[in-house]
Amino acid sequence: MADERALLFPHGQLPGSLELAFVGDSVYDLYVRSALVKRGGRVNDLNRAAVARVNAHAQCESLKRILPLLSPEESAVVRRAHNARQSPTKNADPGEYHYATALEALVGYLYLTGQKQRLTQLLSLSTEMEGSIDAL
């Protein structure tokens, strides 16, 4: 894993917590949307279901489901992102927003370090859905 990081990032350092969350947000969204498409339905219904699952409250709950399963390194990523200085959106609860950012940072970390099997495992457990990141 350290070799992969050295190839992806200068001096083997990962991006900051908010940059990890920036990437993780897209990966999480793609996973949820792919799971919803597998279930089928009209696009309007799929979009409503995606919006209901990809928001601060739902992501906060997702992170709480997997917190006990995280390795020390994964927990450190979550802790740093949770404590990162940021301004929640006006409609989000600040506590939930910080947890959502922490989940996104974890997803971004696992994705960028090439830990796709672990990422898929945690996404499946956290969302209680079977999606896919294989296209990434």
Catalytic residue among 3, 25, 45, 134: 25
Catalytic site includes residue 134: no
Distance, CA of 38 to CA of 104 (rounded, Å): 22
Cβ 86 vs Cβ 101: under 8 Å: yes
Q: Which of 98, 58, 69, 66 is nearest to 81 (CA)?
A: 98
Catalytic annotation, residues: 25
